[in-house]
Amino acid sequence: MDGKKLAQEIRTQLKDEVAQNGLVPRLAVILVGDDPASQVYVRNKQRAAEKIGIKTVDHHLPATVGQEALLDLIYQYNEDPNIHGILVQLPLPDSIDEAKITHAISPQKDVDGFHPINLGHLFMNKPYSLPCTPRGIMELLAHYKINPSGKDVVIVGRSNIVGRPMAALMLNADATVTVTHSRTRNLAQKTRQADILIVATGQAQMLDASYIKEGAVVVDVGVNRLEDGSLVGDVDFESMLGKAAYLTPVPGGVGPMTIAMLMKQTVEFAQRG
């Protein structure tokens, strides 16, 4: 499944939509500290936004910034009618309470869909904004005409940004959902039941073909940088290739879809006014 290509199509559509409707979507992007991976993602987001006609207002704050200063910046953007979306890149330095920051962002401007109010709406199948990675996965599956309804979906990982919201989205799509994690016993026995397997563990190439049944759909969320500088997922792509019916590559799979969904949600917010 080619996420890079679909993401490109979506970004082109968004660009047309922005131009046709005379929108000027504005996204505040806040990066704290100098984690190299975070800097790459933020740069990718800024570049994608610019091409679509979304204006970003960027803040790169030192890791030593106080929690109060960060909160004040968020409050300022909450009140600013010209800003449609606020994104605070995670992870934050240990000195800052991530939950507190996530809660401070106005739910109406929560383009990441991480606010508990928005997660609650999602959980009750009345979503307002959605976490971008799980939303991107749903769009990718839909594009390839893979309908989760009635399917056995197994998710490996239960983070707030991927595994948990993914489970809610799949349940909303009428899948039968199993969520596994580091305490799961007999993981392979669970994952082999999957019609659709979604892996988000942060463990490089952890799952090989022995973890899936023939013809499974495999979505690899992982982005792991190896010592030689190469980028690999949480599944062993080569091993799965002959056995899976559909498989997402890393890079070029879920990652670009995440960014496309962030752009889409920013445009949606601007349209709502």
Ligand X SMILES: NC(=O)C1=CN([C@@H]2O[C@H](COP(=O)(O)OP(=O)(O)OC[C@H]3O[C@@H](n4cnc5c(N)ncnc54)[C@H](OP(=O)(O)O)[C@@H]3O)[C@@H](O)[C@H]2O)C=CC1
Ligand Y SMILES: Nc1nc(=O)c2c([nH]1)NC[C@@H]1CN(c3ccc(C(=O)N[C@@H](CCC(=O)O)C(=O)O)cc3)C=[N+]21
Q: Give the interface with Mg ion as residue ranges (CB under 5 A).
A: 91
The pairing of strands 231-232 and 217-220 is unpaired
Q: How far is CA 158 from CA 154, 165, 231, 254, 257, in A?
A: 11, 9, 22, 17, 20
265 binds, among ligand X, Mg ion, ligand Y, none (CB under 5 to 8 A by kind): none
Q: Which of 89, 195, 236, 265 is catalytic?
A: 89
Residues 219-238 that bind ligand Y (CB under 6 A): 223, 231
The listed partner (ligand X, ligand Y, Mg ion, none) that binds 41, CB under 5 to 8 Å by sort, is ligand Y
Q: Verify binding: residue 113, ligand X, rule CB under 6 A.
A: no
Which of 169, 254 has the CB closer to ligand X? 254
Hey, CA dihedral for 103, 108, 111, 113, is it positive or negative?
positive
C-alpha–C-alpha distance, residues 30 and 57, integer Å: 8
Q: Which of 33, 53, 134, 255 binds ligand X (CB under 6 A)?
A: 255
Strands of the 26-32 sheet, one edge to the other: 55-61, 26-32, 85-88
Determine if residue 232 is labeled as part of a ligand binding site: no
Distance CA 268, CA 127 (A): 13
Q: Which does 256 bind (CB under 5 to 8 A by kind): ligand X, ligand Y, Mg ion, none?
A: ligand Y
Report strand pairing: 176-180 vs 152-156.
parallel
Q: Dig out the tokens for 259 from the structure.
A: 């960014």
- Is 45 labeled as catalytic in the residue annotation? yes
Residue 156: count of CB within 10 angstroms of its CB: 28
Q: Which of 110, 112, 220, 234 is catalytic?
A: 112
Which residues contribute to the annotated binding site for NADP(+)?
157-159, 223
| Contact footprint for ligand Y (CB under 6 A) | 40-41, 44, 87-90, 112, 132, 223, 231, 250-252, 255-256, 258-259
Q: Which residues are catalytic?
A: 45, 89, 112
Q: Tell me which residues touch ligand X (CB under 6 A).
A: 133, 156-159, 161-163, 180-184, 187, 200-203, 221-224, 234, 254-255, 258
